[in-house]
Amino acid sequence: MLPFLLLLPFFGAALLMLLPRERLSPLIPAQATVMVTLGCLALLGVATFLPPSLELQEITGERFHHFHADWMPSIGLTFSLWLDGPALFFCWMVLGIGLLIFVYAGFYMDPADSPWRFFGTMMLFMGSMLGVVMSRNALLMFVFWELTSLTSFILIGHWHHKESARKGAMRALVVTGLGGLCLMAGIAGYFWILSTASAPGYVFDPSTALNWDSLWANRELLLNHPASVACLMLVLLGAFTKSAQFPFHFWLPGAMEAPTPVSAFLHAATMVKAGIYLLGRLYPIYWSWELWLILVGSAGVITMLVGGFMAMTSRDLKQLLAHSTVSQLGLLTAYYGFGFDRAGGDKPLPMDLLLVLSHAMFKGALFMIVGVIDHGAHTREWTRLGGLRKYMPVTTVLTIVACASMAGFPLTFGFVAKELFLKTALSLHASSPLLAYGLPAVAIIASLFTVAYSLRMAVSPFFGKPRDPSIHEHDIYSIEERGDAEDDAHDGSDGAASHAHAAGVHEGGPGLLIPPGILVLACLVAGFWSPFLGDLLSPLVNAPFYGTESGFTVAFFHHADKLLWTAVFLFGVGVLVFLAGKRIMESYERAGSPAIFRHAYEAIFDRAIPSLAAWTARTSQTPSLRRSIAVFFAAAFGIVVAAMGYSGFGLPGAIAIPAGLWMATLPIALTLPCLWVAATHRVLLVRVLAMAPIGFFVAMFFVFFRAPDLALTQILVEVVILIVLLMVLFRLPQRFEPRQLRFDPTAGAIALVGALVMAALTYSAMGSPWRHAPTLEGQPSVRDYYLGNAKYPAMTSEEAAAIGYPGASNMRSGGGTNVVNVTLVDFRGIDTFGEIIVLGISAIGVLCLLTVNRRRRSDNWRGGALDDVGHVSDIVNPETHRQLEMPYRAWPSPSLLLSEIGRLAPGFVLIFAAVLFFAGHNAPGGGFIAGLMVSVGLAMVLIAVSWTRSRHLERFDFVRLIGVGLLVALLTVVVPELFGLPFLTSGHWHFHLPLLGGGEFATAAIFDLGVFLLVVGATMLVVQKLGKE
């Protein structure tokens, strides 16, 4: 049943979101909300008056309804609800007052003012508030806690066209969100303490650890842990921010930008009580700590004082109520502070359900009444109002009674509550007199303010002459109202008044008066029949002690003891303060209201953090490519060096250089001047030409290391890259500017460190004994395995079975003597597969760069100097090159000889390539090298022979060739699947040709063919596209 009760409002909200708003009447949301609330009330009634069945009690040993479902037990988050005393009470309060306020809102809100969003969010809030009070698991409560913050954020910003509303909403969200984080940290702290704690007979159960009752049961562990103070403070921060306690009180008045029903419901009756509720849950754990008194008690009374004073000195009635709420919340907080009993006391305090209830009643009523006044008189500033009793008699009566209850006047419910509070305050005994007498004294002074602003609220608007006659020329007034409600941030009235038809000062309709009327009536009734109420509540108020009876009974004022007289006396003094009130206010305003904490907040969140952020962004995020690369290098090398230092990374002893190797120093010696030129010369072309030899020296080293394939590949790649560079070079500025030639010491230093690191790594790795050691037990090293299996199948059938492919042994073979090539197409064929894909992508990328969004360029060799390249100027489809065809520009005219060579070249090239390709598997060569060879040849043709004579090459669609190459490779990869073998498994067959004699054919060769095609396609595509330029 509990889940239904909890989820009903959420379903309602979802419904409101999903219904087709266009076709339905705007009244539906209000009605739906009221319906849902009634449904919840019905469920709650059932839950209240049907106690859980006996057998359930026997199973669980608990006296109330509860529900449990695992969510993330490992981190202590379980979906466990209950309806113990406080939960029951708060549910009734939330739903009851919610019902009245929804009815009221139905009449208050303008149907044109996006009612769907408004009521949907309201219902969402109601649901999350129910969740807060119903959840037995502290972490679950936190989940709903945050939801209430969010919904309140959205509701405060309901009129988001007002800057003040946006500001207020942000402030509320940030403050409560910050508190929420602290609360979360505190709860996490509890979990941590409980999970690491050890005590005789204590077993840690993560799924129940965070339940309120088990927290209480293990309070000894919580109290005696070194981190317990930190946890308490974090959790209290959560409670204080939520309940707008000093010094976080400033967000609540800002929240009054919300429509009046929201203020009445969230920021007076329910949400701000969540912090109080939390204190009520914590109190039984901490009540014997003096720290508790110091933190909670002082926060409470200071809030009382500040709030009361602010309330007394505010002109806007709604602001007055907001500040009074702050001060009343302070009272509720202080109540728990005063509950401290160092002696460990005989019986702790009960929960302050009476105070909460009475405050919710009169404050909810008063907010609604302010809304009525706003509607009726189009302003909320009592300094302009006056003599309203003639126009709105009912409102007057309601206000007076509600204020009497707020002031704690005898015969009202407020008095009962106040009596309870005073009793607690006066019976406080702390270690130091400062606490014992100071705190209650402050509280009593604050209660004088309470009386004062209650009178202000009750008297000023209704009696005497109207202080500002203009409000009777309502039409003009309401027009300018309509005008400035849009933008004017500090306009007292909230835009609802602007929607109100300007009918002059008038009484509110029954829909606006009955809900507050009911609450006011309740204040009186509860005051009269308080003993009965006490009997009703006492089982609930005893409940939070989970078994131990506090034996609290509500004994009331039929016996006139000193408390009654105290109350009356205070009331008298309060009247005096009220009389002085206006003067105090004006002098205070002349002094200029400080609002220190709001300014502090703005200083931190609106100035300090943004500027810090901007600073971080400026320093950490440089637009300059050069600097980012430098920082990148510096950081990386620094970390590596640190790692070497930490791990004592050392180099193996020097290795003797065998004689006859000195020729290997030649390439190194020759590299240095090339590097020098490549790094310093001021002509681009020269630098490129200086780079080329270095590639050849690298190839020489490949030769020293017995890698003929590599040497061949390296040279070919060098040639192709050189061709590409030369083709591009003509489109770049040809010379370096002097300042680009300056030597950069920082860069030099970083590069030096980096190069040293890499060299050291190389050297030590070469000395590592592990490289060619047998791998696992008795298995050959990788190198030996490749060498051993390249030509002949080495895999016996049981080996095949061992790796999960029984009976496949005879399929397995490298089938070639060129181990490198076999590795490329077989052992590590997948690498090659990936590598050709990279090649294909790069070619396609070049195509995109040269075609997409490219404007026809003006003929200047330096390129560039384009006027802004628009977003999508003229995109050219890759397959129709005509559109982008540049007017042919003669290359530096090809000499006859060159062109002759060019025409003859292809033939030779193709033949040589064919040889290389087929040699590949057994001798240096292979698909890649052959492909490069062909490309070089064709590129020569493109360059040497003028375009007019190689149209076919220019037209040829190399993208398709890339596709074909990829397809062939892909097929050879995939086909083995048909035989149930892993991808790229190659077989090989001996065959006999009549003339050529015997030979061998490995399917790997097909894969190599794919490589060949793709390489040609990719390279030629690049050359072709660049050649067009």
Partner 1 sequence: MELLITLFVFVLYFGGFYLMMRRHVFEVLLGTLLLTHATSMLLIAMGGWKPEERPPILVPSAELPLSAYADPVPQALILTAIVIGFGVTAYLVVLIMRGNEEMNDMEMTERPREEDEA
Partner 2 sequence: MTNLILTPILLPMAGAVACLFLRGSLGAQRTVAGAIATAMVPLALYLLSLVWRDGIQVVRASMWPGGYGIVFALDLLGAVMLCLAAVTFAASWWFVAAGAMPRAQEKALVHPLFLLLGAGVNWAFTTGDLFNLFVSFEIILLSSYVLLAHENGRGQTREGLKFMLLNMIASIFFLASAGLAYGMFGALNMADLAVRIAQAGQPAAATVLGTMLFLTFGAKAAVFPLFFWMPDAYPKAPRGIVAYFSGILTKVGVYCLYRMFPLMFPAAETFAGWFQPLILAVGAGTMLVGVLCALSQMTMKRILSFHIISQIGYMIFALGIFTKLGLAAGIFFIIHQIIVKASMFLVADAVEVNEGSQELSKVGGLVAVYPGLAVIFLFASLSLAGIPPLSGFYGKYALVVEGLVRGHTFYVVVSLVTSILTLMSMMKIWRYAFWRDRIRPANAPVHGNRGVIVATGALVAVSIVVAVFSGPIMRLSTATAEQMIDREQYVFAVLGDRGLAALRAAEEASKP
Is residue 73 part of the contact set for partner 1 (CB under 8 A)? no
- Is residue 721 at the binding interface for partner 2, with CB under 8 A as the rule? no
C-alpha span between 420 and 137 (Å, rounded): 30
Q: How far is the CB of 630 from partner 1 (least distance, A)?
A: 5
User: Exactly one of 177, 387, 531, 693 binds partner 2 (CB under 8 A); which one?
Assistant: 177
The CA–CA distances, whole Å, from 755 to 747, 751, 765 equal: 12, 6, 15
> Does 636 engage in binding with partner 2 (CB under 8 A)?
yes
- Taking the CA atoms of 565, 567, 571 and 577 in sequence, report the sign of the dihedral they define: positive
> With respect to partner 2, which residue has the nearer C-beta, 174 or 416?
174
Considering only residues 854-883, where is the footprint of partner 1 by CB under 8 A? Answer: 857, 862-866, 869
Binders in 664-683 for partner 1, by CB under 8 A:
664-665, 667-668, 671-672, 675, 678-679
From 329-337, 794-802, 889-897, 921-929, span contacting partner 1 (CB under 8 A): 921-929
Q: Are 962 and 1017 spatial neighbours (Cβ–Cβ below 8 Å)? A: yes
Residues whose CB is less than 8 angstroms from the CB of residue 864 and which lie 6 or more positions away in sequence, other chains included: none
Strand partners, 1002: 988
Judged by CB under 8 A, the chain residues 556 through 575 that form the site for partner 1 are: none
Q: Which does 798 bind (CB under 5 to 8 A by kind): partner 2, partner 1, none?
A: none
Q: Which does 948 bind (CB under 5 to 8 A by kind): partner 1, partner 2, none?
A: none
857 binds, among partner 1, partner 2, none (CB under 5 to 8 A by kind): partner 1
H helix runs in 592-664, sequence order: 596-601, 609-620, 625-647
Stretch (H or E) spanning 992: strand 988-993
Q: Mapping DSSP to helix (H, G, I), strand (E, B) and coil, where does residue 349 land?
A: coil
Residue 962 contact, options partner 1, partner 2, none, Cβ 5-8 Å cut-off depending on partner type: partner 2
From the list 236-244, 386-394, 902-910, 963-971, the region that binds partner 2 by CB under 8 A is 963-971
The length of the chain is 1029
Q: Which does 790 bind (CB under 5 to 8 A by kind): partner 1, partner 2, none?
A: partner 1
Are the beta carbons of 303 and 412 closer than 8 angstroms? no
Among 42, 50, 59, 849, binds partner 1 (CB under 8 A): 849
Contact region for partner 2 (CB under 8 A) — 334-342, 589-597, 802-810, 914-922?
802-810
Q: With CB cut-offs between 5 and 8 Å by kind, which of partner 1, partner 2, none does residue 970 bind? A: partner 2
Binding residues for partner 1, how many (CB under 8 A)?
Answer: 118
Distance CA 680, CA 687 (A): 8
DSSP 932-945: HHHHHHHHHHHHHS
Query: How many CB atoms lie under 10 A from the CB of residue 509?
Result: 13
Segment interacting with partner 1 (CB under 8 A) among 19-27, 77-85, 173-181, 919-927 = 919-927
Q: Which does 852 bind (CB under 5 to 8 A by kind): partner 1, partner 2, none?
A: partner 2
3 state DSSP class of 81: strand
Written as one string, the DSSP assignment of 35-93 is HHHHHHHHHHHHHHHSPPPHHHHHHH--SS-EEEEEEEGGGTEEEEEE--HHHHHHHHH
* 632-651 binders of partner 1 (CB under 8 A): 633
Distance CA 584, CA 590 (A): 10
747 contacts partner 1 (rule: CB under 8 A) = yes
661, 890, 995, 996: residue in contact with partner 1 (rule CB under 8 A): 661
Using rule CB under 8 A, residue 1008 touches partner 2: no
CB of 731 to partner 1, least distance (A): 5
- Span of 414-422, 578-586, 843-851, 912-920 interacting with partner 2 by CB under 8 A: 843-851
- 636's contact among partner 1, partner 2, none, with CB below 5 to 8 A by partner kind, is partner 2
* Amino acid type, 539: P
* 863 binding partner (options partner 2, partner 1, none; Cβ < 5 to 8 Å by kind): partner 1
Q: Does 800 bind partner 2 (CB under 8 A)?
A: yes
Question: Can you tell me the distance from the alpha carbon of 258 to that of 256, in angstroms, rounded to the nearest whole number?
Answer: 5
Q: What are phi and psi of 991, to 5 degrees?
A: -140, 160
Closest distance to partner 1 from the beta carbon of 977 (Å)? 24
* Burial (Cβ within 10 Å: 0-12, 13-18, ≥19) of residue 409: buried
Structural tokens at position 166: 């946006």
Q: Which of 21, 63, 582, 731 binds partner 1 (CB under 8 A)?
A: 731
State yes or no: residue 672 binds partner 2 (CB under 8 A): no
Residue 668 contact among partner 2, partner 1, none, beta carbon within 5 to 8 Å by kind: partner 1
The answer to the question of residue 686 lying near partner 1 (CB under 8 A) is no
919 binds partner 2 (CB under 8 A): no
Omega before residue 247 within 30° of 0, cis: yes
Tell me, rounded to whole angstroms, the distance of Cα 398 from its chain centroid: 47
Geometric angle at alpha carbon 637, from 634 and 641, rounded to 5°: 130
Under the criterion CB under 8 A, does residue 981 sit at the interface with partner 2?
yes
Query: Does the footprint of partner 2 cover residue 820 (CB under 8 A)?
Result: no
Task: Name which position in 549, 744, 831, 900 contacts partner 2 (CB under 8 A).
Answer: 831
Footprint of partner 2 on residues 76-115 (CB under 8 A)?
Answer: 76-77
Taking the C-alpha atoms of residue 498 and residue 488, their distance in angstroms, rounded to an integer, is 12
Residue 831 contacts partner 1 per CB under 8 A: yes
- C-alpha 130/C-alpha 90 separation (Å) is 8
Amino acid at residue number 189: G
Give the Cβ contact number of residue 918 at 10 Å. 16
Q: Which of 112, 434, 672, 869 binds partner 2 (CB under 8 A)?
A: 869
Residues 574-633, interacting with partner 1 (CB under 8 A): 610, 614, 617-618, 623-626, 629-630, 633
Upper half-sphere CA count for residue 71 (Cβ side, 13 Å)? 15
Q: Interface residues for partner 2 in 125-144 (CB under 8 A)?
A: 139, 142-143
Residue 367: closest CA among 527, 478, 256: 256
Backbone angles phi, psi at 165, to 5 degrees: -65, -45
Among 843, 913, 969, 1020, binds partner 1 (CB under 8 A): 843
Query: Could you tell me if 87 and 62 are in contact, meaning their C-beta atoms sit under 8 angstroms apart?
Result: no
**Residue among 809 and 946 whose Cβ is closer to partner 2:** 809
Could you say which residues in the range 456-485 bind partner 1, by CB under 8 A? none
